[in-house]
Amino acid sequence: MDHAALDLSLDASALTARLVDFPSVSGDEKALADAVEQALRTLPHLTVDRYGNNVVARTNLGRAERVVLAGHLDTVPIADNVPSRLDDDGYLWGCGTSDMKSGVAVQLRIAATVPEPNRDLTFVFYDNEEVAAHLNGLGHVAEAHPDWLAGDFAVLLEPSSGQVEGGCQGTLRVLLHTQGERAHSARSWMGSNAIHTAAPILARLAAYEPRRPVIDGLEYREGLNAVRIEGGVAGNVIPDACTVTVNFRYAPDRSEAEALAHVREVFADCGVSELVVDDHSAAALPGLSHPAAVAFMEAVGGTAMPKFGWTDVSRFSALGVPAVNYGPGDPLLAHKRDERVLASLVDDCAERLRGWLTA
Amino acid sequence: MDHAALDLSLDASALTARLVDFPSVSGDEKALADAVEQALRTLPHLTVDRYGNNVVARTNLGRAERVVLAGHLDTVPIADNVPSRLDDDGYLWGCGTSDMKSGVAVQLRIAATVPEPNRDLTFVFYDNEEVAAHLNGLGHVAEAHPDWLAGDFAVLLEPSSGQVEGGCQGTLRVLLHTQGERAHSARSWMGSNAIHTAAPILARLAAYEPRRPVIDGLEYREGLNAVRIEGGVAGNVIPDACTVTVNFRYAPDRSEAEALAHVREVFADCGVSELVVDDHSAAALPGLSHPAAVAFMEAVGGTAMPKFGWTDVSRFSALGVPAVNYGPGDPLLAHKRDERVLASLVDDCAERLRGWLTA
């Protein structure tokens, strides 16, 4: 198959099929990044920048607002599901159809067919989204060239079944350690049982009532959960250590510092000998009250939903750019062997964005 | 070194040194069993039987009572502590000095020097005590030749620092499983957290008040302890399973069935989805009210102590033979690199037993 050129005259669904047939598993995005860069450089209304395998293209029309459309080029490993195929019901099957070559196709289609948008546009194509956070291309661009990502509002074309998902919840993981003293279990009174000491931690978790705050009209649902517990030395030894790993998913009205302070407070009197932060990613506000977002919601229709899982919208939020997820893929099919997308939804998504940007 | 013959004319402490210099790590007891058998066969007042590497020698004097003196031939692996050495303070150092070649030396010394005891005697030397229970030579003899172990009272010469330890506590290990339903931790309300479900189990353990029953004048101390806890799938998944491993050490006034019923009752309303018995060894009554035991206590002196850990006295108990631990070794030094025994205590122990058996 000739991967040399991407034909941007195809409609978004047909372009999705071409992109799926152009493998770009995480770490192996160079050829596709080359092709995307080359295709965009043929469009005279765009200036194109590149950093690694990340490509950024912008209009410079001096509009009052700038909107960012972003998507990742990589996919999870192929699972016997490339090349793509279109079935009789109008579904396009294959690796990345949902997550998120359909979104990338919509980006490219808008880039090619909206030379005079009502808002300045920035198109971001990045690598390594499906792997460890430190490899993420959007993060690398944000660090090296934050100005490339500047804007009033961002749309991440991650799979959301054509629904707008606003902001995202934060996620904090802490290790709660308890301490005891070893002894032979036949003489347990000589020691102190660290697993028993963890009893108030589990009781607190079991009794915890998570908040459901409404922010920008979206109801978020927090959660505080043990995701792991470990303790024990041998079948006849009183254990001297136990660790409960707790994951706090929190709404975007809490800052990182507030989220951690809350967790410290919840477990303040539960016998914790040490609290260690294992991982922390901030929440992102939905920003749906921004004029660009209001117009966007009107154009694409439907009701915005809160995003519970953590996504790259948080990276835009950290740069001061309110962001939402909105893409044609189905998030429940992402990463699956039977991944597919409804072709008509891909074209519909492109049309709605075009409507918003040309009204 | 010539291992061919054991010189039973040596006193018990000197004989201990010879036995320590004759390595017999678990699984490698044949040469020592051969030497013990050969030495005992030179004694005309004894009949000698052998089963595997287990040697049993008996007097047949038609006495009113029969006493069993038992000890294991094996040791834990040698840790640069063979051959033995006697220091200036009278301590004999080396692998097995405490656990329990000093006890075996006392057995051999009594066998050699008390040809006409006031009670018929049975000497049992067995292999594989330091390894898995199913390999234990005393268990093999009990199964194949229970008549060889018959008696009114048994003394196991395990290290007890010259104190009598009566009976032993039982030990029951159960797995308490809780069940939940997996979900992404960002949408925890879609699942059910099996670690949180275990909260009442830990609360019950933390609040448990163990009994301290007095039996035959000895105070036992029970204990109910979590020895392991495990649960968790991944850092972002609500776990669907958690297992708490609980060890119940119980006094000999409870049968195996009663002990299990008690544990079931303790955790009856704690959200346990399944209780699995992992391991169970019965307790043994001290039997200190038996006339032979009363005379024994008078002869060896001191105050009997309860035995909290499980020992082979329970195997005698299961055969209907009350049994105690009484030996010159120090249980706190067993299995240690700096294992040692006070030589004078070995000879003292032999003298006290001789006194009891010749009074």
Phi first, then psi: what are they for A176, rounded to 5°? -105, 115
Identify whether B303 is part of a domain: yes
Q: Is A290 a member of any domain?
A: yes
Tell me what the mean pLDDT of segment A287-299 comes to.
87
CB contact under 8 A, A202 and B202: yes
Q: How confident is the model at residue A111 (pLDDT cuts 50, 70, 90)?
A: very high
Q: Do residues B327 and B215 share a domain? A: no
pLDDT digits (tens, 9 = 90+) for B106-158: 999 999 999 999 999 999 999 999 887 889 999 999 999 999 999 999 999 99
Residues 6+ apart with CB under 8 A from A269: A200
So what's the pLDDT on residue B289?
83
Helix, strand, coil share of chain A (percent; to 5): 30, 25, 40
Instruction: State the maximum Cα–Cα separation within chain B, in Å, rounded to a whole number.
Output: 81
Q: Among partner residues A234, A244, A309, which is closest to B184 by beta-carbon distance?
A: A309
Q: Tell me how close the Cα of A309 comes to any Cα of chain B, in angstroms.
A: 5
**Whether residue B151 sits in one domain with residue B78:** yes
Task: Name the residue among A114, A111, A119 with its Cα closest to residue A64.
Answer: A119
Q: What pLDDT score does A32 carry? A: 97
Residues of B in contact with A281 (CB under 8 A): none
Find tokens 């405490």 and name the residue. B98
Range A114-140 average pLDDT: 94
Q: Which residue, of B281, B296, B322, is where some domain finishes?
A: B281
Query: Which domain-ending residue is among A281, A309, A331?
Result: A281
pLDDT at A311 over 70: yes
Using left for φ > 0, alpha for ψ between -120 and 50, and beta otherwise, residue B140 falls in alpha
Best of A169, A174, A195 to disrupt the B interface by mutation (most B CBs within 10 Å)? A195
Q: What is the nearest CA distance from A315 to chain B, expressed in angstroms?
A: 18
Q: Does A5 fall in a domain? A: no
| Inside any domain, residue A2 | no
What local confidence, expressed as pLDDT, does residue B3 receive?
Answer: 57
Question: Which residues of A are designated catalytic?
Answer: 74, 129
pLDDT at A1: 44
Does residue B272 sit in the same domain as residue B305? no
Closest residue by Cα to residue A22 from A86, A106, A78: A78
CA atoms within 13 A on the CB side of A201: 29
Per-residue pLDDT, A4? 57
Q: How many independent structural domains does chain B possess?
A: 2
Q: Mark whether A154 and A81 lie in a shared domain.
A: yes
Residue B192 structural domain: 171-281
Do B22 and B132 have their domain in common?
A: yes
Q: Which of chain B's residues have a Cβ under 8 Å away from the Cβ of A249?
A: 185-186, 188
Helix (H) / strand (E) element for A264: namely helix A256-266
- Rounded Cα distance, B251 and B211, in Å: 8
Within 13 Å of residue A61, how many CA atoms lie on the same side as its CB?
19
C-beta separation of B212 from B176 below 8 A:
no
Euclidean distance between CA atoms A40 and A48, whole angstroms: 7
Nearest CA in chain B to A202: B199
Q: In angstroms, how far is CA A143 from the centroid of its own chain?
A: 18
Number of A/B CB contacts below 8 angstroms equals 159
- State which amino acid sits at residue B5: A
Q: What is the C-alpha to C-alpha distance for residues A138 and A314, in angstroms, rounded to an integer?
A: 11
Which residues of B are less than 8 Å from A221 in CB distance? 187, 189
In a domain, A312, yes or no: yes
Average pLDDT over residues A265-280: 96
What average pLDDT does range A254-275 have in this prediction? Answer: 97
Report the relative pairing of strands A218-219 and A214-215 from DSSP bridges: antiparallel
Which DSSP letter does residue A56 get? E
Same domain assignment for residues A155 and A179 = no
Q: Identify the pLDDT of residue B242.
A: 98
Average pLDDT, chain A: 94
pLDDT tens for A43-55 read 999 999 999 999 9
**pLDDT value at residue B28:** 97
Claim to verify: residue B198 and residue B162 sit in the same structural domain: no
Q: State the sign of the Cα–Cα–Cα–Cα dihedral B87, B91, B92, B96.
A: negative
Residues B16 and B67 in one domain: yes
- Residue A68 φ then ψ, to 5°: -105, 130
Q: Are A247 and B236 in contact (CB < 8 Å)?
A: yes
| Residue B290 near residue B154 (C-beta atoms within 8 A) | no
| Residue B245: inside a domain | yes
Q: Distance, in angstroms, between B200 CA and closest chain A CA?
A: 7
Per-residue pLDDT tens for A130-159?
A: 887 889 999 999 999 999 999 999 999 999
Which of A281, A304, A326 terminates a domain? The answer is A281
Residue-level pLDDT at B4: 57
Distance from CA of A188 to the nearest CA of B (A): 6
Cβ distance of A205 and B193 shorter than 8 Å: yes
Does residue A149 share a domain with residue A93? Answer: yes
**A-chain residue closest to B191, CA distance:** A225
ipTM of the complex: 0.78
Residue B334: band (very low, low, confident or very high) from pLDDT cuts 50, 70, 90: confident
Residue-wise pLDDT for A217-236, tens only, equals 889 999 999 999 999 988 88
Residues of B in contact with A223 (CB under 8 A): 185-189
Q: Residue A3: inside a domain, yes or no?
A: no
- What average pLDDT does range B275-286 have in this prediction? 90
What is the per-residue pLDDT for B50?
98
**Do residue A223 and residue B196 have CB atoms under 8 angstroms apart?**
no
Check CB contact under 8 Å for A235 and B223: no
Q: CB B171 to CB A188 under 8 A?
A: no
Give B276's strand partners: B175
* Alpha helix (H) residue ranges in A114-222: 137-144, 194-197, 199-207
Residues of B in contact with A226 (CB under 8 A): 193, 195-196, 231-232, 239
Q: What is the CATH number of the domain that holds B321?
A: 3.40.630.10
The CATH number of residue A243's host domain is 3.30.70.360
In a domain, B7, yes or no: no
pLDDT band at A329 (very low <50, low <70, confident <90, very high): very high
Structure tokens of B5? 């013959």
CA-based nearest residue in chain A for residue B182: A227
* Residue linked to tokens 């909206």: A114
Q: Which residues in chain A are contacts of B281 at CB distance < 8 A?
A: none
For a pLDDT cut of 90, what percent of chain B falls above it? 78
Say yes or no: A150 and A85 in one domain.
Answer: yes
pLDDT at A331: 87
A97 pLDDT more than 70: yes
Residues in CB range of A159: below 8 A, 6 or more apart: A98, A99, A100, A102, A103, A327, A328, A329, A330, A331, A333, A334, A341
8 Å CB contact of A227 and B229: no
Averaged pLDDT for residues A278-301 = 87
Distance CA B133, CA B312 (A): 10
At A196, give phi and psi (nearest 5°): -65, -35
* Whether residue A206 is found in the same domain as residue A140: no
Q: Provide the 8-state DSSP code for A203.
A: H
> A179 and A272 in one domain?
yes
pLDDT of residue B335: 85
Q: What is the mean pLDDT of residues B292-316?
A: 87
Phi, psi of B260 (to 5 degrees): -65, -40
Contact at 8 Å (CB) between B167 and B215?
yes
pLDDT (average), residues B28-48:
97
Find the mean pLDDT for residues A252-257: 94
The model's confidence at residue B59, banded by pLDDT at 50, 70 and 90, is: very high
Three-state SS letters, chain B: CCCCCCCCCCCHHHHHHHHHCCCCECCCCHHHHHHHHHHHHCCCCCEEEEECCEEEEECCCCCCCEEEEEEECCECCCCCCCCCEECCCCEEECCCHHHHHHHHHHHHHHHHHCCCCCCEEEEEEECCCCCCHHHCHHHHHHHHCHHHHCCCEEEECCCCCCCCEECECEEEEEEEEEECECEEHHHHHHCECHHHHCHHHHHHHHHCCCCCCEECCEECCCEEEEEEEEEECCCCEECCEEEEEEEEEECCCCCHHHHHHHHHHHCCCCCCCEEEEEEEECCECCCCCCHHHHHHHHHHCCCCEECCCCCCHHHHHHCCCCEEECCCCCHHHCCCCCCEEEHHHHHHHHHHHHHHHHC
